[in-house]
A and B are shown apart, each in its own frame.
Chain A
Amino acid sequence: MWSRLVWLGLRAPLGGRQGFTSKADPQGSGRITAQVIEHLERLALVDFGSCEAVARLEKAIAFADRLRAVDTDGVEPMESVLEDRCLYLRSDNVVEGNCADELLQNSHRVVEEYFVAPPGNISLAKLDEQEPFPHS
Chain B
Amino acid sequence: MAAPMLRWVGRGRRWTFARVDGGSCHRREAPTGSTSNRIRGRSSVAQQPLYTTQKPRKGEHKWAAVVGLEIHAQISSNSKLFSGSQVRFSAPPNSLVSFFDASLPGTLPVLNRRCVEAAVMTGLALNCHINKKSLFDRKHYFYADLPAGYQITQQRLPIAVNGSLTYGVCAGKKQSQVIPKTVRIKQIQLEQDSGKSLHDDLRSQTLIDLNRAGVGLLEVVLEPDLSCGEEAATAVRELQLILQALGTSQANMAEGQLRVDANISVHHPGEPLGVRTEVKNLNSIRFLAKAIDYEIQRQINELENGGEILNETRSFHYQLGCTMSMRDKEGKQDYRFMPEPNLPPLVLYDATSLPAGADPQQVINIDQIRETLPELPSVTRERLVQQYGMLLEHSFTLLNEVGLLEFFQNVMKETRAEPKKVTSWVLNTFLGYLKQQNLAVSESPVTPSALAELLDMLDSRTISSAAAKQVFEELWKREGKTPGQIVSEKQLELMEDRGALEQLCHSMMEAHPQVVMDLKKGNPRAINKLIGLVRKATQSRADPAMIKEILEKKLSS
CB closest residue in chain A, given B206? A117
CB of B379 within 8 Å of the partner chain: no
CB of B209 within 8 Å of the partner chain: yes
Binds A, one of B83-91, B245-253, B453-461: B83-91
Chain A residues whose CB sits within 8 angstroms of the CB of B10 once the complex forms = 119-122, 133
B97 A100 Cβ-Cβ under 8 A: yes
Majority-rule SS of A interface residues = loop
Q: How large is the interface on B (under 10, 10 to 19, 20 to 34, 35 or more residues)?
A: 35 or more
0/1 string, B56-96, CB within 8 A of A gives 1: 00000000000000000000011100011110000011111
0/1 string, B12-25, CB within 8 A of A gives 1: 11000111110010
CA separation between A3 and B115, bound complex, in Å?
48
Chain A residues whose CB sits within 8 angstroms of the CB of B20 once the complex forms = 23-24, 39
Interface residues of A in 71-128 (CB under 8 A from B): 79-100, 103-104, 106, 109, 111-125
Task: State whether A97 and B86 are in contact (beta carbons under 8 Å apart), knowing that A20-B155, A117-B144 are contacts in the complex.
Answer: yes
The contact of B341 among A21, A42, A80, A131, by CB within 8 Å, is A80
CA separation between A38 and B197, bound complex, in Å?
28
0/1 string, A30-64, CB within 8 A of B gives 1: 00000100110011011101100000000000000
Chain B residues whose CB sits within 8 angstroms of the CB of A113 once the complex forms = 92-95
Chain B residues whose CB sits within 8 angstroms of the CB of A96 once the complex forms = 79, 83-85, 98-100
CB closest residue in chain A, given B155? A20
The contact of A100 among B93, B196, B341, by CB within 8 Å, is B93
CB of B546 within 8 Å of the partner chain: no
Q: How far is the CB of B114 from chain A (nearest CB, A)?
A: 4
Interface residues of B in 469-495 (CB under 8 A from A): none
B110 A21 Cβ-Cβ under 8 A: no
A120 B140 Cβ-Cβ under 8 A: no
CB of A9 within 8 Å of the partner chain: no
CB closest residue in chain B, given A103? B102
A80 B344 Cβ-Cβ under 8 A: yes
The contact of B95 among A85, A95, A100, by CB within 8 Å, is A100
Q: How large is the interface on A (under 10, 10 to 19, 20 to 34, 35 or more residues)?
A: 35 or more
Task: State whether A133 and B199 are in contact (beta carbons under 8 Å apart), knowing that A90-B111, A96-B83, A118-B206 are contacts in the complex.
Answer: yes
B343 A87 Cβ-Cβ under 8 A: yes
B114 A49 Cβ-Cβ under 8 A: no
CB closest residue in chain A, given B86? A94
Task: State whether A24 and B21 are in contact (beta carbons under 8 Å apart), knowing that A100-B95, A118-B206 are contacts in the complex.
Answer: yes
B337 A21 Cβ-Cβ under 8 A: yes
Q: How far is the CB of A107 from chain B (nearest CB, A)?
A: 9
B345 A120 Cβ-Cβ under 8 A: no
Chain A residues whose CB sits within 8 angstroms of the CB of B140 once the complex forms = 43
B344 A39 Cβ-Cβ under 8 A: no
CB of B330 within 8 Å of the partner chain: yes
B97 A43 Cβ-Cβ under 8 A: no
CA separation between A122 and B78, bound complex, in Å?
37
CB closest residue in chain B, given A47? B4
Chain B residues whose CB sits within 8 angstroms of the CB of A136 once the complex forms = 12-13, 145, 196-197, 199
CB of B143 within 8 Å of the partner chain: yes
A93 B4 Cβ-Cβ under 8 A: no
A86 B78 Cβ-Cβ under 8 A: no
B7 A79 Cβ-Cβ under 8 A: no
A100 B9 Cβ-Cβ under 8 A: no
Interface residues of B in 493-512 (CB under 8 A from A): none
A42 B326 Cβ-Cβ under 8 A: no
Chain A residues whose CB sits within 8 angstroms of the CB of B336 once the complex forms = 19-21, 43
Chain A residues whose CB sits within 8 angstroms of the CB of B281 once the complex forms = 134
Task: State whether A45 and B94 are in contact (beta carbons under 8 Å apart), knowing that A35-B21, A87-B111, A125-B19 are contacts in the complex.
Answer: no
B334 A21 Cβ-Cβ under 8 A: yes
B344 A135 Cβ-Cβ under 8 A: no
CB of A12 within 8 Å of the partner chain: no
A47 B95 Cβ-Cβ under 8 A: no
B93 A119 Cβ-Cβ under 8 A: no
Q: How far is the CB of A20 from chain B (nearest CB, A)?
A: 4
Chain B residues whose CB sits within 8 angstroms of the CB of A23 once the complex forms = 20, 24, 332, 334
A-B contact pairs, 16 of them (CB 8 A): A1-B5, A21-B335, A21-B337, A24-B20, A80-B341, A89-B113, A96-B98, A97-B85, A97-B98, A106-B102, A114-B93, A115-B207, A116-B207, A117-B205, A120-B197, A134-B315
Across the A-B interface, the 10 shortest Cβ-Cβ residue pairs: A120-B10, A121-B10, A47-B4, A117-B144, A92-B114, A96-B98, A97-B85, A114-B207, A20-B337, A95-B84
16 further interface pairs, Cβ-Cβ under 8 Å (given A118-B144, A123-B17):
A1-B1, A20-B336, A21-B336, A46-B4, A89-B113, A92-B112, A93-B79, A97-B84, A103-B102, A116-B206, A119-B200, A120-B199, A120-B206, A124-B9, A125-B19, A131-B327
